[in-house]
Structure 1
Amino acid sequence: MSAITTHVLDTALGRPATGVPVRLSRIDADTHQISDLADATTDDDGRVTDLGPDQAPAGTYQLRFDTAAYYAATGQECFYPEVLVTFAVTDRRHHHVPLLLSPFAYSTYRGS
């Protein structure tokens, strides 16, 4: 399993968000350059478990969710065409970053 994983739930429909394109990137602390690490798509359970390395060094990371593609595929209106979640990795624990999604709102948290 990757050191960083995610789970996307469509709270408006009450089910996992299948087929959401997700990109994991790292932001360099000195130059602020963004380096893409991995791309994946959520599975039938709305999860991505094979995103990036099995160890994530301390630093700042981003998960970019292509919500426009998901909403187009499900025939829903979309106010936020993408969701960008920036977070800090400070230790070697597994980092799970879920996204709760609806057409006009979203939230995220540090999962387990």
Structure 2
Amino acid sequence: MATQEMAKTRRGFSFLKIAITLQTLTVFLQAVSAGLLLTSSYGETLHSVGARVMYGASMLYVLAAVLAWKPGGGSPRPVRHASGFLVLASVQVVLGIAHVPAVHVPLGVLIFGLSVLALARR
């Protein structure tokens, strides 16, 4: 019975690690597409599509954190972290749509740094 509990926890944490990795990767790709936004004609489209993918990755991170916590019996801390990332991603999207690069760019750097930190902790 204890082995089954540990297997569920490991699966939950591996799904959580995959979700954090995906989020970190999509945030990094957003930085790349932001550079392309300044230098090419297709950069705006790529950055716009990437924003949707990054937001979806943030939602997946929340789902993975909840699944690792509730059925797996893990700590609720990843749920708070994932929810914080979703809030930051929401603010980031609003700032991007409003064309406020003075806050949008530093917030993106902060999100990337926090995402890398969360990935390193897993």
State the TM-score, normalizing by the size of structure 2: 0.28
* Greater share of strand: 1
Larger radius of gyration: 2
* Greater share of helix: 2
State the TM-score, normalizing by the size of structure 1: 0.30
